[in-house]
Amino acid sequence: MPATTVNIPKLEISPQERAEGKPTPESVDAGARLLRETGLVVIESVLPRDWIAEVNVAMQAVLDREEADVPNGEHPLLKMPFMDARIIDNPFSMQILKAAMGEKIFAYLPYGCNSTVPGSETQWIHRDSGQLFPELPFALPVSTIVVNIPLVDFTVENGATEVWPGSHLIVDDAAVRNTPYNVCDEARAAQLPSFQLVMPAGSVVVRDMRCWHRAMPNRSQTIRHMLALVYFRRIHHFPDAPTIFGTRVSEEIWANMSEATQEMYRFQAHD
């Protein structure tokens, strides 16, 4: 359990914003400020619970097929419902992303899914991305962001992710930044406030990938799934990297994307 409990940085939206499915400019500014100052922002319950439940069932089916080693030509996450615009072009996260990293951000497909099974133990504390120039004595503005969408209610019992707000601004010493995933020392983290991301299914989390975090033990009887979509500033494009998201998107899926979504995934291979 976290040593110190703090308030989760939530963006409170109006009933009108929720009904229209998009934030006002004032909410975008507030969300971008929370992201800048705390390293993340949570917008609760912006996706329909019944639909999210369907996505959760579909995700479990995908993982069951993978576990059974059933061959499947097209990547399963490049099909519906996983390619729904509410996921890959979510208006709440997208507006904040662009406010934080500019209009020319980009992403790759397929995106990921973080799952915690019943009986899992506490993960090590780590960052998903280090400082862009780790030798500098200060942190630069954000350049990699992950958007998480919980497919079930996140609770303490099922292992809601623990996060250290403000840790995105911490500059690690050489011993830490040269470890896999920029692993953080447990004793050091215990001196700083943290919280678990307790939130309803269908919420959206926009998180600076430099934030310390870890998966917590799942003491429930069900698997806890969370979608993970990673976005980059333009400076991060590596077109010749052989291991980075080379999966092709089908022409049918590509043609049904909006122009804005095609622009977002403009470096993605497609038929």
Which residue spans within 172-260 are E strands per DSSP?
195-196, 204-208, 213-214, 224-232
The C-alpha angle with vertex 60 and arms to 56 and 61, in degrees rounded to 5, equals: 115
Better-scored residue on pLDDT, 33 or 3: 33
The answer to whether residue 173 is domain-embedded is yes
pLDDT-based confidence at residue 65 (cuts at 50, 70, 90): confident
pLDDT-based confidence at residue 248 (cuts at 50, 70, 90): confident
Tell which residue, 58, 54, 228, has the closest CA to residue 144: 228
Tell which residue, 249, 148, 213, 237, has the closest CA to residue 2: 213
The answer to whether residue 9 is domain-embedded is no
Give the residue numbers spanning the domain of 156: 15-264
**First-residue to last-residue Cα distance in the chain:** 47
CA torsion angle 225 97 82 161 (round to 10): 0
The answer to whether residue 8 is domain-embedded is no
The letter for the amino acid at 43 is I
**Given this model, what pLDDT does residue 7 score?**
84
Give CA separation, 176 vs 77, 131, 132, 144, 187, in Å: 34, 12, 15, 19, 13
The letter for the amino acid at 87 is I
- What region does 241 belong to: left with phi over 0, alpha with psi -120 to 50, or beta? beta
- Overall number of domains in the chain: 1
Percent of the chain with pLDDT over 90: 69
Q: How far apart are CA 253 and CA 257, in angstroms?
A: 7
Q: How far apart are CA 9 and CA 102, in angstroms?
A: 22
The pTM is what?
0.86
Are the C-beta atoms of 181 and 125 separated by less than 8 Å?
no
Q: Domain of 124: which CATH number? A: 2.60.120.620
Give the Cβ contact number of residue 241 at 10 Å: 9
The answer to whether residue 255 is domain-embedded is yes
Per residue in 71-89, pLDDT (tens digit) is 556 789 999 999 999 999 9
Mean pLDDT across 97-118: 94
The answer to whether residue 4 is domain-embedded is no
Mean of per-residue pLDDT scores for the chain: 89
Per residue in 179-222, pLDDT (tens digit) is 666 778 888 899 999 999 999 999 999 999 999 999 999 999 99
| Radius of gyration from C-alpha coordinates of the chain | 18
With H, G, I as helix, E, B as strand and everything else as coil, classify residue 2. Answer: coil
The answer to whether residue 5 is domain-embedded is no
The answer to whether residue 10 is domain-embedded is no
The answer to whether residue 2 is domain-embedded is no
> Is pLDDT at 106 greater than 50 in this prediction?
yes
Better-scored residue on pLDDT, 40 or 7: 40
Q: How far apart are CA 193 and CA 79, in angstroms?
A: 40
41 DSSP β-pair partners: 206
**Given this model, what pLDDT does residue 59 score?**
96
pLDDT-based confidence at residue 1 (cuts at 50, 70, 90): very low
